[in-house]
Structure 1
Amino acid sequence: MSSFDVSSFDVIILRQWRIFCSAGIIGTLETSVSILAFSHAVNLTASRSEHKPVNAFRTLHRSILLLFAVVVIAIVTLVHFSISKIVAEQSRAQQQSLSPAISLIVSQILKPLHVSEALGKSRELVTLMEKNQLDEAEIFSALERMEQEFGLTFFIASEEARVQYNSDGSKLDLIEGEVSWYFKYRDSEADAIADIGKWEDTHFYIDIKIYDDAGKFLGFFGVGKSLKSFVSVFETYKRQYGYDFLFVDGKGDIMLSSDASLIAANADFTNLSELPWYASLPDKVIAENALNNQLITINGNDHLIAEVALPQFGWTVYLLSPLDARQAEISQGFIFSVVTLLVIIFALFLLIYNLLYYFRRDMQPELIIRNTHRLPDRTQLEESYGELTNKHSSLSIILVDIDDFMSINDQYGRNAGDDVLDKVSNLIGSHLRDKDILGRWSSEEFILLLPDMGPHEAHDLAQTLRHGIAILPPPAEHPDLQLTASFGVSFTATKRSMNEVTAHAEDALYQARRDGRNLVRVQLIDA
């Protein structure tokens, strides 16, 4: 038959359409009805004829597959782009949150540490503290100069004098039992300690141990910063970025926070375990203290925890990032990607739809073209003949010639002649098997390729067809029109060329004409 099966084309269209619909991208009822209506039209055409213009369907088939491939590539590319963009946005947002946070930690926490460590190693400071008789005026002058230069509060706590000198000009006797921090940190192994003190005006302190050249402990030199300044900076940062800070020591006590209610007062620290969101974490997370990248809920809003270690103090900074703004950014990026995808898919669908419309329009005339015009021509018949002789051991050929067809055209007109051809082809087709092939051999001749049919069976079929044509009712407008046909039969049981077999069938047909027409003649091929 034809080298392209229309039903398989229909399945391809429906299959591709189901993919679009299942993806939830295009699912309008009108479009589905339009496509299905076109498929129905194609099937209707197929039911009226077994043969179609092969090249047209091949072109359509390839175009559909090509456009479908383009759609798939577009979807994959855009999905990859969307995911990459979302990941990039997520990374950018994370970077935006961490970069200022790190800057804040460096400027507010690490900078005082570095300043105190650098000044603590100065020869001038060691000289001041190793004197047997301290010069208080010289000490206050040095501390005041440092405060003016760095904008921080400085102090010296002398082991020899057991006095703490502050840059504001005040001093405090270091009496054991009354001043706990000095004696607690003096006996610790750490040389740099972060602490919260001065509860009447709470300060953050960094205490640096000072030694002379012989390694003798001389006391502490340190930097102090009011917690009010931290709260002010944290509030500014929170307004700008929306994040909260928690500086937590090794015991879980909150040393510093952007939430003023969590800052220690009168030596009473808030522990991390007292916070509701912390208590709601899984036991494993709490046991392993693995809070980094944990998702928590605070006051009904989602937050993401970022963790930064401060090994200099044995602290951990927890950055609580609200996800509302980030989710909005990601949603906007996702919506943009989806809209872009829909636009591309819709544009490609319009191309496919217009292509289908073009072919549908091109094939609409096929629905009213006469059956005989859709029969395979000689080129297609030769291809079919080759396929049949490869698959079957024998084959008969019948040539059918409508008697006096030219006279019918001349006397009754061309339309009447076309009606005759249609009636004869319909009659012949009704007597054929599925594997038989009917084609046009010339303007008034038909050819039948009959695989696995012997010459006697072919002769009997020709007689049946001859009789059927002779009794066909004439057209209502031409009641005097009488149809007859002559038949030539040939047969081959070996693989021969089509020209050789049809040549014998033509000789038999000519013999039928010479003998008076409306006859069946057989001419076999000599072995």
Structure 2
Amino acid sequence: MNTFRTLHRSLLVLFAVVVIAIVTLVHFSVSKIVAEQSRAQQQSLSPAISLIVEQLLKPLHTSEALGHSTELVHLMDGETLDEDAIFASLTRLEEEFGLSFFIASETSRKLYNSDGSTLDLIEGEVSWYFKYRDYPEDAVADIGKWEDTHFYIDIKIYDFDGKFLGFFGIGKSLRSFLSVFDSYKKQYGYDFLFVDGNGDIMLSSDPKLIATYSDFTNLSELPWYASLPLSVRNDQALNNKLVTIDQKDYLIAEVKLNQFGWTVFLLSPLEDRQTEISQAFIFSVVTLLVVIFSLFLLIYNLLYYFRRDMQPDMVVRHANRLPDRAAVELIYQSLLKEEKSISVVLVSLDDFSHISDAFGRNTADDILDKVAGYLADNLREQDVLGRWSSEEFIVLLPQTGPHEAFDTAQGLRHGIATLPPPVGQNSLQLTASFGISFTASARIMNEVTAHAEDALYQAKRDGSNLVRMQLID
């Protein structure tokens, strides 16, 4: 019993260690995967943010800074304008910043470009000027100049008294954007969509989606966008949405450009991100498997050690492997020399022959195993359980007085009566009768068990499922 219980406890401890190790590794794996996803997301967004800053925000900040210069206010203020001075300033700015600049004057109702061209701002013919003049925002982004499509940033200019003087701004050819977008796509593999609040695509890495002659492509015209749920389309809430374009999966990330009222949608190929995340996942799984395999080897070696170290008197739960009468007698003699006193308990299953006849031998064997297992689990480490006959067990309780043995037997009797019946035999009620005897002197086992048998038969005669005790005079 000692060795068996030590093995049982060792396995429980080892099982707890395995569970803790697996939970820890799963937590580590999940954390690593999440970190890898975040890293992949960061890697994909960082170049996009750099591009947005370089291509859009830098021109915006440049135009805003220049728009607050007193030189510009002096050029645009007054009843008549010095056009030569205006062109000289615009030319100098183009050479200095490498961008196209313009001034749209409210006084002269004329547009001056850094390339030396002009355009009369006639209401009904030039719509952008009059539309944006009445906008509440002081900075507006737009697409225009359709013969060579440009992206424009328009900054409203006021005099020192707050009077509107016109627009100052920067223009960039869309061909320069397409070149930059193409190099980013080749390097990082993703596409850009710059979309205004109405869903119109203002800029894109796909040349087919670039506006031509004021004809903008709307998000709703894209097949993959039309396949999304209506709630997603209404809110343009595409962040972290998975879409399929030309039979390839893309993950969408979005960046708000509040300066323009735009949203940038970054379409990242899922295959590339899956490769990076899969590598982290595979590493975590391999680590988990190595740990589980190591624990399995530890359990195997532990079982091998206990199997090799088992003593012949070890009590095994299964009824057909319990010590028989001869083995129990040897144990009895050994315990009597060591402990000086022993209580002997005989346990007999009630109506066992009837159960075997009515339900079959297999059911009867299952019942024996169930009762043997229950008895073994509810005895102390120093107690010994053995097989006495086909339907009887014997229990040796060293250093246990008769009255304490009686209480132990009562507990075991009640426990057996409350055991669940075998599967499919719900009508079967298990009970057992107990007979107890005791010795505190060097008596042979047959003398003690004879009194225990008399007590057992008395329990049977009194109605079964009882505990009786007969002490030696």
TM-score (structure 2 length as normaliser): 0.70
The residue number in structure 2 matching 1:105 is 52
Deviations 1:319-344 (A, max 9, x none): 11221111122222222211111111
Change (3 A) 1:286 1:356: same
Q: For residue 308 of structure 1, give the secondary structure of its aligned residue in structure 2.
A: strand
The residue number in structure 2 matching 1:55 is 2
Q: Answer whether contact 2:325 2:388 (CA < 8 A) is retained.
A: no
Q: Answer whether contact 1:377 1:439 (CA < 8 A) is retained.
A: no
The residue number in structure 1 matching 2:417 is none
The residue number in structure 2 matching 1:434 is 392
The residue number in structure 1 matching 2:239 is 292
Question: Following superposition of structure 1 onto structure 2, how do residues 28-427 of structure 1 map, counting pairs within 5 Å?
Answer: 54-363=1-310, 375-377=330-332, 380=335, 388=344
Q: For residue 198 of structure 2, give the secondary structure of its aligned residue in structure 1.
A: coil
Change (3 A) 1:386 1:103: farther
Structure 1: how far apart are the matches of 2:388 and 2:4?
A: 26
AA aligned to 1:237 is: Y
Cα displacement (A) at 1:63 = 2.5
Give the percent of matched residue pairs that are identical in Structure 1 and Structure 2: 68
Structure 2: how far apart are the matches of 1:431 and 1:289?
A: 81
Deviates more, 1:334-343 or 1:75-84: 334-343
Structure 1: how far apart are the matches of 2:185 and 2:219?
A: 20
AA aligned to 2:16 is: A
Cα displacement (A) at 1:291 = 2.0
Q: For residue 102 of structure 2, give the secondary structure of its aligned residue in structure 1.
A: strand
Q: Answer whether contact 1:244 1:319 (CA < 8 A) is retained.
A: yes
Structure 2: how far apart are the matches of 1:376 and 1:505?
A: 12
Change (3 A) 1:437 1:318: closer
Q: For residue 239 of structure 2, give the secondary structure of its aligned residue in structure 1.
A: coil
**Higher RCO (CA-CA < 8 Å; seq separation 6+):** 2
Aligned length: 368
Q: Answer whether contact 2:111 2:118 (CA < 8 A) is retained.
A: yes
Deviations 1:41-86 (A, max 9, x none): xxxxxxxxxxxxx332233223222222221111111111111111
Structure 2: how far apart are the matches of 1:337 and 1:384?
A: 59
Change (3 A) 1:98 1:377: same
Change (3 A) 1:386 1:110: farther
Q: For residue 376 of structure 1, give the secondary structure of its aligned residue in structure 2.
A: helix
Cα displacement (A) at 1:301 = 1.6
Give structure 2 stretches of 5+ with no counterpart: 315-322, 348-385, 399-404, 407-434, 449-470
Give structure 1 stretches of 5+ with no counterpart: 1-53, 392-427, 441-450, 453-490, 510-522
AA aligned to 2:129 is: Y
The residue number in structure 2 matching 1:4 is none
Cα displacement (A) at 1:312 = 1.8
Q: For residue 61 of structure 2, give the secondary structure of its aligned residue in structure 1.
A: helix
Structure 2: how far apart are the matches of 1:114 and 1:432?
A: 97
Q: Radius of gyration: which is bigger? A: 1
Q: Answer whether contact 2:79 2:107 (CA < 8 A) is retained.
A: yes
Cα displacement (A) at 1:504 = 7.2
Q: For residue 252 of structure 2, give the secondary structure of its aligned residue in structure 1.
A: strand
AA aligned to 1:304 is: L
Deviates more, 1:215-224 or 1:354-363: 354-363
Q: Answer whether contact 1:162 1:175 (CA < 8 A) is retained.
A: yes
Change (3 A) 1:387 1:176: farther
Give the RMSD, CA atoms, in angstroms. Answer: 3.5
Deviations 1:416-436 (A, max 9, x none): xxxxxxxxxxxx986797344
Structure 2: how far apart are the matches of 1:87 and 1:282?
A: 27
Q: For residue 237 of structure 1, give the secondary structure of its aligned residue in structure 2.
A: helix
Structure 2: how far apart are the matches of 1:77 and 1:347?
A: 15
Change (3 A) 1:436 1:280: closer
Deviates more, 1:91-100 or 1:115-124: 91-100
The residue number in structure 2 matching 1:483 is none
Deviates more, 1:219-228 or 1:236-245: 236-245
Q: Answer whether contact 1:155 1:167 (CA < 8 A) is retained.
A: yes
AA aligned to 1:264 is: A
Q: For residue 250 of structure 1, give the secondary structure of its aligned residue in structure 2.
A: coil
Cα displacement (A) at 1:89 = 0.8
Deviations 1:402-461 (A, max 9, x none): xxxxxxxxxxxxxxxxxxxxxxxxxx9867973445899xxxxxxxxxx99xxxxxxxxx
Q: Answer whether contact 2:324 2:388 (CA < 8 A) is retained.
A: no
Change (3 A) 1:132 1:82: same
Change (3 A) 1:91 1:524: closer
Deviations 1:137-179 (A, max 9, x none): 2212211221222221111111222221111222222233332
Structure 2: how far apart are the matches of 1:122 and 1:101?
A: 31
Structure 1: how far apart are the matches of 2:340 and 2:390?
A: 16
Change (3 A) 1:198 1:89: same
AA aligned to 1:148 is: E
TM-score (structure 1 length as normaliser): 0.63
